[in-house]
Structure 1
Amino acid sequence: MSSNAADTVREAPPEEIRKAVAGAAMGNCIEWYDFGVFGFMPAILGQVFFNASSTSEGALATFAVLAITFIVRPFGSFVFGPLGDKIGRQKVLALTIILMSGSTFVIGLLPSYATIGPGAAVILILLRTVQGFSAGGEYGGAATFIAEYAPARKRGFWGSWLEFGTLVGFAMGAGFVTLFTIALGDDAMREWGWRLPFLIAGPLGLIGLYLRNKLEDTPLFQELEQKKQVEKSPLKTLLKKHWSSILHLIGIVVMLNVADYIVITYLETYLKDVVGFSGNAPLLIILGTILFMLIVIVPVGSFSDKIGRKPILIASCAGFLVLPIPAFSIMEASKDDRNVLQLALGVAMIAIPLVLILAVLAATLPAMFPTPERYGGFSIGYSVSTALFGGTASYIVSSLVDSTGNNLWPAYYLMGAAAIAAIPILLLPETSGISLRRVVSSRVIRRRQALTSAHES
């Protein structure tokens, strides 16, 4: 179904769409820059802030911090999501980028455990809490912002740039950690070099704030304001009318979150501590995998505008049901003869289904909610799923591997997440080409499509 003539007339000019996408993607870039930094030096941070006695203990402590701070993400989504539906997307996104980048920057200034003892860990957790609270309103708002600017016929193409920003941010975080580790050495990184990647978040945040302050709010939200249709209590309406869409979204995002956080915050540690690859090979393999994902993500998003989001989501789900055990078995087997190409193949087998869902997510999920409750519905569902399944994934998987000695637990966890997501993905209505102005709820779309199919038959 294509957008109608009225929708086409009110489309934003291409240059405005490009600015909107850049501004929205920059915040996501900063959020995942932070995860890249944490994910690529968990052992060092565990030693700096928790006085960990071993690399595995330090990594586990850092993953625990990530898991704890994810708990506050839903609280942030309940605040920032409905606020974005009430006062506008642009104002809230300007605030979240300040809080996220500021928190990451200040971590680079903190004293270590050796200087102030356990207080270092307490301050770190407080800053991570602020970062997690603000992140609760970031991704849902950024995806909503892009989706409401993009023409219906190209929502997949433009939406894929949001996750392009995710991958760039993570690659930057991981890349700076790798660069500083090579240039300074392990001892200097533990003493003071770990601060440098965090401090870079300050300038990145200022660039992002500049971009977002230059933007006008989305055309769809401006229309709500002009027609005086902005909800006075968007959270109340959302929970009353669209709770089923929130649950539907949570089910889909389970698979993404588990895959995302295992690959981004745990896989490098797995390759070093479990598989036993020392040196920079694991870092370089993951960076190479991200480069591959950057190359294909936008073409996949654009392809979804032609064939729909659902076939690509089904392919991603099938990949995570079939590939994890072979992939992690290949990675583990590579340690016998130090086969780097074999290790890279195993990582790529996980990256392929991940990039499929990343490419279409920002175009798919905003279409599950109507405009007056879109920011809140997306943010709450996404953040609850992230807190329950994403932020805890690294810690749980790492703990299971350590306690059982079974190195295939990451594969089992990925497959379980895919099994959970399979049903909501199959029930998802196809919204490719449908204008967001006509979205009522995913349940209503499914009912309309069922009636249309019955009538045609």
Structure 2
Amino acid sequence: MQEDVEQVASGAEDPPDQATVRRAVVASAMGNCIEWFDFGVFSAGVMTTIIGTVFFPHDSAGSATLKSFALIAAAFVIRPFGGMFFGPLGDKLGRQRVLATTIILMSGSTFVIGVLPGYDTIGLAAPILLLLVRLIQGFSTGGEYGGAATFIAEYAPTRRRGVLGSFLEFGTLWGYILGSGLVLLVNLSLGADRMHAWGWRIPFLLALPLGLVGLYVRVRLEDTPAFKELDETGHKASSPLKETLLHHWRMILNLIGIVILLNVADYTLLTFMPSYLTDNLGIGDVAAQLTTIGVEFGMLLVIAPLGRLSDRVGRKPLLATAATGYILLSFPAIKLMQLHNPVTVTAGFAIMGALLVLMLAVIGSTFPAMFPTQVRYGAFAIGYNISTSVFGGTSALVIDSLISVFHTNYIPAFYLVVAGLIALVPILLIPETAGVSIKNIATPRPSGSSRLATASD
């Protein structure tokens, strides 16, 4: 990390020092960490069952796990609206102000879940309040990821954007490990009865201190050099949302296509798989969580080197390898997991994780560079959240429902293969962004073609 931040942001008239660049990376990654801390907590095998039984009538239709997955999916319905609100706002007012707002909304919402009374206390108001909190959380998350990726990309030097951008997803993986690891620790320490009675609240409550740390780091930073230059020269878009939809819809469609695979893989692996291992494959809660955490930790170790590799060979080779891998290896990976041997279960899970980390390592540097500074935050947020809402947040719910309908545990593999086939097309169509100055990306001409200037720094 130290050597990565010693470079200065490319093209800035008054380059930030290495400490500022380092804080920009940490500030951006903290938001992702908090978002995925929530998913790590909410999707842990034992937690999905508890949430479903604590907040819903005990005799209502559907399993407790399915109810929890429905809550996860509900939060994603609102995300595109958050992206359309916060994204253009970030292009108009600045990245830093909006990101300070989204991080406190996200962490505060997770904290509130930890203090909500259950169905036995307030009846139907319990699931209604929980749904409301999840919607607020989804709305704020819709403005988080696009802004955080933009923040890192606009601070990073062109030739180091890949490795610095990979730290955004480093935050994702750490957040998930912290969340699921904390659930495991609390569960083992308290036992099933106390965990169900009150212990489940502890991980949710700890989200607020994490959010306050992230807020502190973010408010101490100035806005990005690229946005400050845009603001000082008076070149900001007068109507960012209109310009985004009018001139950048083709590239947004490409982004949506790639994000289909990214999020189907991401949420299948991190949100659905823990419960799949326990409910469908009969693996114990502790073993399932240890498998998940172990693979996630392995992904942590390789994500920065892969980001550095993308600075040398390009982003598209890694993205294309991931898409092809999911097309060819999803069924073998699921087959290995169904052998019920700890080694084969871990091997199958690791195959899926290895393909996912190829994408995670480069999306933080690829997606922001697909759009010019004037609309970067908004275009990224809109495209990313539309795709995430439709195909990401619903993955666990759809897969679990299809397994119940078709009575086959190969549904996750089928879902991943289809997503890989879809994503491979836009991956091949988008321009290579490695070595391209993020400040020199132009608004497309009326024909839809775009100019990408090679960085001189």
Match of 1:238 in 2: 244
Instruction: Say whether residues 1:197 and 2:203 are aligned partners.
Output: yes
Tell which deviates more after alignment, 49-58 or 424-433. Answer: 49-58
Alignment of 1:314-353 (within 5 A): 314-334=320-340, 339-353=341-355
1:240 aligns to what SS in structure 2? Answer: helix
Quick one: structure 1 residues 442 and 173, their matched pair in 2 at CA, closer, same or farther if it must change by over 3 Å?
farther
Match of 1:89 in 2: 95
Alignment of 1:101-140 (within 5 A): 101-140=107-146
TM-score under structure 1 length normalisation = 0.94
Q: How many residues align?
A: 444
Q: Deviations over 1:50-87 (max 9, x none)?
A: 13469981110000011112110000111000000000
Asked whether the 8 Å contact 1:368–1:441 carries over to 2, the reply is no
Q: CA deviation at 1:188?
A: 1.1
Quick one: structure 1 residues 350 and 45, their matched pair in 2 at CA, closer, same or farther if it must change by over 3 Å?
same
Instruction: Say whether residues 1:69 and 2:75 are aligned partners.
Output: yes
Match of 2:85 in 1: 79
Match of 1:455 in 2: none
Identity of aligned residues (%): 52
Quick one: structure 1 residues 55 and 155, their matched pair in 2 at CA, closer, same or farther if it must change by over 3 Å?
farther
Distance 1:369 1:236 in 2: 14
Tell which deviates more after alignment, 226-235 or 139-148. Answer: 226-235
Distance 2:133 2:406 in 1: 33
Match of 2:433 in 1: 431
Match of 1:12 in 2: 16
1:429 aligns to what SS in structure 2? Answer: coil
- Name whichever structure is richer in helix by fraction: 1
In structure 1, the gaps of 5 or more residues are: 453-457
Match of 2:179 in 1: 173
Q: CA deviation at 1:440?
A: 1.5
Quick one: structure 1 residues 272 and 239, their matched pair in 2 at CA, closer, same or farther if it must change by over 3 Å?
same
Match of 1:29 in 2: 33
Distance 1:101 1:275 in 2: 33
Q: Deviations over 1:183-213 (max 9, x none)?
A: 0111111110110000000100110110001
Instruction: Say whether residues 1:222 and 2:224 are aligned partners.
Output: no
In structure 2, the gaps of 5 or more residues are: 1-6
1:185 aligns to what SS in structure 2? Answer: helix
Match of 1:300 in 2: 306
Quick one: structure 1 residues 254 and 279, their matched pair in 2 at CA, closer, same or farther if it must change by over 3 Å?
closer
Match of 1:373 in 2: 375
Distance 1:442 1:227 in 2: 20
Report the AA paired with residue 31 of structure 2.
G
TM-score under structure 2 length normalisation = 0.94
Report the AA paired with residue 25 of structure 1.
A
Report the AA paired with residue 344 of structure 1.
T
2:43 aligns to what SS in structure 1? Answer: helix
Q: CA deviation at 1:242?
A: 0.8
Tell which deviates more after alignment, 12-21 or 123-132. Answer: 12-21
Instruction: Say whether residues 1:398 and 2:400 are aligned partners.
Output: yes
Distance 1:360 1:369 in 2: 16
Q: CA deviation at 1:426?
A: 0.5
Distance 1:140 1:228 in 2: 23
1:407 aligns to what SS in structure 2? Answer: coil
Equivalent of 2:213, from 207, 211, 217? 207
